[in-house]
Amino acid sequence: MDLTHRPRRLRQDRVRGLVSETSLEPSDLIAPVFVDATTDERIPIESMPGHERVPVDESVDRVREVLETGVEAVMIFGIPESKDPEGTRAWAEDGVVQAATRRITAETDAYVITDVCLCEYTDHGHCGPLEEELSGDDERGTPCDHDRDATMTVDNDATLESLDRIAVSHAEAGADMIAPSGMMDGMVAAIRGALDRDGYEHVPIMSYAAKYESAFYGPFRDAADGAPSFGDRRHYQMDPANAREALREVRLDAEQGADVLMIKPALPYLDIVAEIRREFDHPVAAYNVSGEYAMLHAAAEKGWLELDEVALESLVSIKRAGADLILTYFAEEVANRLSADR
């Protein structure tokens, strides 16, 4: 028996750390925070145990809780007091994200990243104002009212103008980084141009560069009240079947000046994370989304999985695949665990 090669030699306790290929630090993590303009008390999010929507007044306290765990960055999502077809509350100076960002940046050292999208702000729940779909068969004639929705889609170029305004209003409120998540063509160039024009050339853009049309966003859409009222997002988010297309999408964002490239969701798309890591030298982010969080919680609740262990293993795997930073609802728990292990 030739056993020259015994990989188990390096799996002994005292050497495992020395040969470990991947490390995870609290500073790799970004914690999503939901700020809700429709409430004056904290509301637990049922499908995301441990997470809450907090009123603007509590946004600073909420962020302080995150910072205490060693996590240094937050991603702010807003639920506005009212919605309309254009999503105008998204760029209001006194909008929910703007108000929270002003307070958080004034009172804490958190690195504040803001989600730039319209789906929480439009009354139809799509990521921009709608237009009649252009590619439809014209011979269909005037659609009757009930299937009218089926012929509507997001107006890409009109949305870009709104995204400009939102990004500038966030930067004006003190956002450290802007994260557009709407998957509109040309969104990074439009936002970069607007930020530079208004004196925010130092504010980086983390683009949701390859964002898939995923069923794993379900719990988030409850949390942020952003589910589309009709149809789905497959006209703008990517088809889960496509990997080469992700390279093209990401390349466009890189060319347009994205500073950080994000893949979303994370666990079902680790092949994409690995591929983008190989092809680009930008920092790569992965979004461990609400469904990835909720499913582990649900299984743990049944006693089928050990929550701490699967959460940590998930995040280590996302890093091993090539992500430098991870957006995750597990940020606080895992950061606490990492500090305790030290």
Beta-strand ranges (E) seen in 55-198 are 73-79, 111-116, 130-132, 152-154, 177-180
Yes or no: say if 185 and 250 are a contact pair by the CB < 8 Å rule: no
Task: Answer whether the bond into residue 32 is a cis peptide, omega within 30°.
Answer: no
249 binds ligand PBG (CB under 6 A): no
Which segment (22-30, 101-109, 137-145, 219-227) binds ligand PBG by CB under 6 A? 219-227
Beta carbon nearer to ligand PBG, 139 or 323: 323
Beta carbon nearer to ligand PBG, 232 or 313: 232
Question: How many residues lie near ligand PBG (CB under 6 A)?
Answer: 10
| Contact partners, residue 255, CB within 8 Å, separation at least 6 | none
Beta carbon nearer to ligand PBG, 20 or 38: 38
181 binds ligand PBG (CB under 6 A): yes
Yes or no: say if 90 and 61 are a contact pair by the CB < 8 Å rule: no
Is residue 319 part of the annotated active site? The answer reads: no
d(CA 116, CA 164): 9
Q: How far apart are CB 121 and ligand PBG at their closest, in Å?
A: 10
119 binds ligand PBG (CB under 6 A): yes
Q: Which of 83, 211, 302, 319 is catalytic?
A: 211
Cα dist. 167→226, 252, 279 in Å? 19, 19, 28
160 binds ligand PBG (CB under 6 A): no
10 Å Cβ neighbour count for 281? Answer: 8
210 binds ligand PBG (CB under 6 A): no
217 binds ligand PBG (CB under 6 A): yes
Query: Which residues, numbered 96-115, are part of the site for ligand PBG (CB under 6 A)?
Result: 115
Beta carbon nearer to ligand PBG, 158 or 341: 158
Enter the DSSP assignment of 144.
Answer: P
Beta carbon nearer to ligand PBG, 67 or 113: 113
Q: How far apart are CB 212 and ligand PBG at their closest, in Å?
A: 9
Enter the DSSP assignment of 209.
Answer: E
286 binds ligand PBG (CB under 6 A): no
Is residue 264 part of the annotated active site? The answer reads: yes
Q: Which of 83, 264, 302, 319 is catalytic?
A: 264
209 binds ligand PBG (CB under 6 A): no
Yes or no: say if 275 and 249 are a contact pair by the CB < 8 Å rule: no
Give the residue among 243, 291, 242 at the shortest CA–CA distance from 267.
291
Yes or no: say if 267 and 292 are a contact pair by the CB < 8 Å rule: yes
165 binds ligand PBG (CB under 6 A): no
Yes or no: say if 205 and 168 are a contact pair by the CB < 8 Å rule: no
289 binds ligand PBG (CB under 6 A): yes
The residues of the shown chain that bind ligand PBG, judged by CB under 6 A, are 115, 117, 119, 181, 217, 220-221, 226, 289-290
* Catalytic residue ranges: 211, 264
